[in-house]
Structure 1
Amino acid sequence: MQKRVAELFAGVGGFRVGLDKLNSGWSFVYANQWEPGKKHQYAFDCYSRHFGTTEKLSNEDINQVDKTEIPDMDLLVGGFPCQDYSVAHSGAKGIQGKKGVLWWDIRDTIEAKRPAFVLLENVDRLLSSPGKAHRGRDFGMILYTLNQLGYGAQWRVINAAEYGFPQRRRRVFIFAYRQDTNYFNTIDSAINLKEALLEHSVYNEALPINKALHLENETTLDGYIDIVDFSDTFSFHFENTGIMHNEDVFTGKYTPKYTGTSTVLNDIVLDHIDDDTLFIDSTPGRREKFEYLKGAKKEERTSSTGFSYYYSEGGMAFPDPLSKPGRTMLTSEHSVNRSTHVIQDKETGKLRLLSPLECERLQTFPDNWTEGMPKSSRYFMMGNALVCGLVTELGKGIDKIIANEDENNNQHVQVNADSITH
């Protein structure tokens, strides 16, 4: 099997950075990156600057892309927004989802190109959205459509810091595989879905877990009239790992089993900073604002309708301890915000924000990956990105799966050749 990759919602190339680090023969044949409503396409420019034009790079709205014109691929990758996946009947036109929901572009790409494998990333709240009434409906819709397309799938919510990375970033990774692959047959031959998940999961190659699962639960995607009936009625509590196979779904809660070293903020923070604007006291009143935002509070507020209520929240570390991994980085990292990291500078002892380079290190990109764009855009890109090192670890499992595809195919060829000889 070839190892051709197409990347949707490519951003500044996190999936590619992660897979390229393996140096195991992955070849990127296509990438699409489009930031709607933006005059300057900084992410696409960054991607192009690093990777050139050896493959087809697309800077157009993915909704407008003819999916049949995308080059053939063996692995489709991408990180996409968590949105409302509900669908409805639309008269003579059949089924229609909400406009602009990017999952349907992934679905259409899979249908048009039939990649053997798919690796996707999303926020962990996808498993529970859209809320109490239809908890788990949106993630269920993804599994339902993958099953309709002829794929099995596994998912796992991964906190990068629990596997040695410098950021406590929780994201769900979805790995799907076509039903005619050897890997699907491996899952098919397992005693049950729990055994398949514990013994044959793509994630376990480099991201091991304890074999005892908690809060186990099962459901089925069968029995619905159509996708609209599914959208209207499906509800399920998905745990942080699970598997979908032939319409059956098994889920459970795992705990990581990591024995390596951990990377903390102190390991990625620079010893010297030249940018004085990063120091919070360089702007009058900024320290006080941070102290208020990060402090514990209980205060009376009034809603827009005149209703009075008490708002309360706990305090958080201020400054952020260098002895621990960073918190989840958001696109607002550079602003005066409760979620923004504030650290004690190594050289001066003064409080400051993280630099764009340090944010790149939080996401395990090479230093100065986003250099050349405005500082605010550099922060935005990293807040939207993924931990590249996690993709490298997941790639190890995919490499092993593909090697098994090739090994079994070679054995099949040898059997046929022997039968002809004799």
Structure 2
Amino acid sequence: MNKRVAELFAGVGGFRVGLDALNSGWKTVYANQWEPGRKNQYAFDCYVRHYGDSSINSNIDINKVDKTTIPDIELLVGGFPCQDYSVAHSGAQGIEGKKGVLWWDIRDTVEAKMPPFILLENVDRLLSSPGPRQRGRDFGMILFTLNQLGYGVQWRMINAADYGFPQRRRRVFIFAYRKDTEYYRELEDLHDLKKAIKDHSVYHKELPIKKHLTLQKKGSIDGYLDIVDFSDNFSFKFENTGIMQDSEIFTGKYESAYEGKHVLLDDIVLDSVDDEELFIDTKPGRLEKFEYLKGAKKEERTAKTGFKYYYSEGGMSFPDPLDRPGRTMLTSEHSINRSTHVIKDKQTGRLRLLDPVECERLQTFPDGWTEGMPKTARYFMMGNALVCGVVTKIGSGIDDIMERETNLKPASEIVKLNIKH
């Protein structure tokens, strides 16, 4: 059985690292990575350094790629920015999505290649975006367009630390499957969306949850005149797990039932580091700045309009405790700000920043994965990456599903709906 993968928004290859760890036959046949507005394409260069420079590696704007030229695949993967997915009528041109929103490139790729399975990753706020005004609209748009193209969808907001990984990183993973697959039919035969998401989801094998779901809710993406009507009027409170089959939605809030080993910051921190610049005391004023940023505060501020107000925020642990998983790592890691990790060095006891290798370990990449690029770029790449080990766990569930797919139809035989957006 073919197990071909296309990776969009590939970054430094997190999805590929996660799938390769399974050793179950997944073969990446296409990867696209392009950083807009940057002369140096460090992420793409890193990808090529590990996987080779060949025709399957694309370093151009995905919006300019002819999606029909992508090889046939069984799995499409990618992480993409959380943006405003609104659409509008555009006269004779029909319906179009907001300019620059990368979801529509994923959607166009799906329409062009019709892979039987899709695995995507996004930030946790996607489930509630764009906010109170129309909560859940953006995620609903993803469900709506995938349903139009003939897919069922499952999602799970996963905190990596809840399943033994060394970082408290919450991300939404979206698994979609074509309606002609055995897996889709298996879920249809249950006639119970709640049972499907609790006992038969792709996440269930390696990412167990407690049987009782709270905040359970049903909904639908049906009954809208067109995609513009949906964009203007859909609102729904999505919980941290759920499923969509034939326009019907079931969602609920789950808790992890993981009982394995938990990896802590202490487990991934190096015994010693050679880079003296990592230590806080090598530059005057850094310690005081970090103490202020991470401390509790309530202070009067003045807005541009002249309005005075009080800004307050709670304090956070300083330095970061080594007996817990790390906090969510951001692209600003290593700069002087509230979110940057500061730890006590094991060898000297001095306060310091994380080494790039420790950042790679937070994301479960192999040590030295981002070597060869400037240090600031290494931090940025890891702050922008995903926890590869979570992909491995989800991939194990996809492997089980693939084993039961004995008669997958090629994309050329799948009827494509004429979708305008």
**TM-score, length-scaled by structure 2:** 0.96
Q: Which amino acid aligns with 2:374?
A: P
Superposition map of 1:401-420 within 5 A: 401-406=401-406
Residue 271 of structure 2: SS of its match in structure 1? coil
CA contact (8 A) 1:332 1:380 kept: yes
CA contact (8 A) 1:154 1:175 kept: yes
Superposition map of 1:373-384 within 5 A: 373-384=373-384
Residue 381 of structure 1: SS of its match in structure 2? helix
Deviation at 1:146, TM superposition (A): 0.3
Task: Identify the residue that residue 286 of structure 2 maps to in structure 1.
Answer: 286
Deviations 1:267-325 (A, max 9, x none): 00000110000001111000000000000000011111111111000000000000100
Q: Which amino acid aligns with 2:133?
A: A
Distance of 2:96 and 2:115 partners within structure 1? 24
Distance of 1:331 and 1:54 partners within structure 2? 29
Task: Identify the residue that residue 359 of structure 2 maps to in structure 1.
Answer: 359
Aligned residues: 408
Task: Identify the residue that residue 300 of structure 1 maps to in structure 2.
Answer: 300
Q: Which amino acid aligns with 2:10?
A: A
Distance of 1:294 and 1:218 partners within structure 2? 41
Residue 299 of structure 2: SS of its match in structure 1? strand
Which segment drifts farther, 51-60 or 180-189? 51-60
Q: Which amino acid aligns with 1:169?
A: R
Residues 1:38 and 2:38 aligned together: yes
Deviation at 1:353, TM superposition (A): 0.1
Deviation at 1:133, TM superposition (A): 1.2
Deviation >3 Å, runs of 4+: none
Q: Which amino acid aligns with 2:165?
A: F
Task: Identify the residue that residue 64 of structure 1 maps to in structure 2.
Answer: 64
Residues 1:248 and 2:248 aligned together: yes
Residues 1:98 and 2:98 aligned together: yes
Distance of 1:289 and 1:107 partners within structure 2? 45
Deviations 1:56-114 (A, max 9, x none): 11000000000000111000000000000000000010001111100000000000000
Deviation at 1:225, TM superposition (A): 0.1
Q: Which amino acid aligns with 2:229?
A: D
Residue 5 of structure 2: SS of its match in structure 1? strand
Deviation at 1:199, TM superposition (A): 1.3
Distance of 1:214 and 1:257 partners within structure 2? 14
Q: Which amino acid aligns with 1:368?
A: G
Q: Which amino acid aligns with 1:396?
A: S
Distance of 2:24 and 2:96 partners within structure 1? 40
Superposition map of 1:48-197 within 5 A: 48-53=48-53, 56-197=56-197
Distance of 1:143 and 1:282 partners within structure 2? 51
Deviations 1:349-371 (A, max 9, x none): 00000000100000000000000
Distance of 2:21 and 2:40 partners within structure 1? 29
Q: Which amino acid aligns with 1:394?
A: I
Deviations 1:27-68 (A, max 9, x none): 000000000000000000000000013561100000000000
Superposition map of 1:211-250 within 5 A: 211-250=211-250
Task: Identify the residue that residue 272 of structure 1 maps to in structure 2.
Answer: 272
Residue 204 of structure 2: SS of its match in structure 1? helix
Q: Which amino acid aligns with 1:208?
A: P
Deviations 1:242-276 (A, max 9, x none): 00000001100000000100000000000011000
Deviations 1:193-242 (A, max 9, x none): 00111111000010000010000111111100000000000000000000
CA contact (8 A) 1:183 1:405 kept: yes
Q: Which amino acid aligns with 1:11?
A: G
Residue 343 of structure 2: SS of its match in structure 1? strand
Distance of 1:8 and 1:203 partners within structure 2? 22
Q: What is the root-mean-square deviation in Å for CA atoms of aligned residues?
A: 0.8
CA contact (8 A) 1:28 1:55 kept: no
Distance of 2:350 and 2:16 partners within structure 1? 37
Task: Identify the residue that residue 347 of structure 2 maps to in structure 1.
Answer: 347
Residue 46 of structure 2: SS of its match in structure 1? helix
Task: Identify the residue that residue 257 of structure 2 maps to in structure 1.
Answer: 257
Q: Which amino acid aligns with 1:124?
A: D
Deviation at 1:191, TM superposition (A): 3.1
Q: Which amino acid aligns with 2:244?
A: M
Distance of 1:145 and 1:171 partners within structure 2? 21
Deviation at 1:404, TM superposition (A): 0.9
Task: Identify the residue that residue 415 of structure 1 maps to in structure 2.
Answer: none
Deviation at 1:342, TM superposition (A): 0.1
CA contact (8 A) 1:89 1:96 kept: yes
CA contact (8 A) 1:129 1:139 kept: yes
CA contact (8 A) 1:8 1:77 kept: yes
Distance of 2:283 and 2:401 partners within structure 1? 53
CA contact (8 A) 1:29 1:55 kept: no
Distance of 1:191 and 1:176 partners within structure 2? 18
CA contact (8 A) 1:134 1:234 kept: yes
Task: Identify the residue that residue 21 of structure 1 maps to in structure 2.
Answer: 21
Deviations 1:113-146 (A, max 9, x none): 0000000000000000101111000000000000
Residue 337 of structure 1: SS of its match in structure 2? coil
Distance of 1:263 and 1:105 partners within structure 2? 36
Q: Which amino acid aligns with 1:64?
A: K
Residue 405 of structure 1: SS of its match in structure 2? coil
Q: Which amino acid aligns with 2:319?
A: P
Residue 203 of structure 1: SS of its match in structure 2? coil
User: Which structure 1 segments of 5+ residues have no match?
Assistant: 410-422
CA contact (8 A) 1:331 1:383 kept: yes
Q: Identity of paired residues, percent?
A: 74
User: Which structure 2 segments of 5+ residues have no match?
Assistant: 409-421
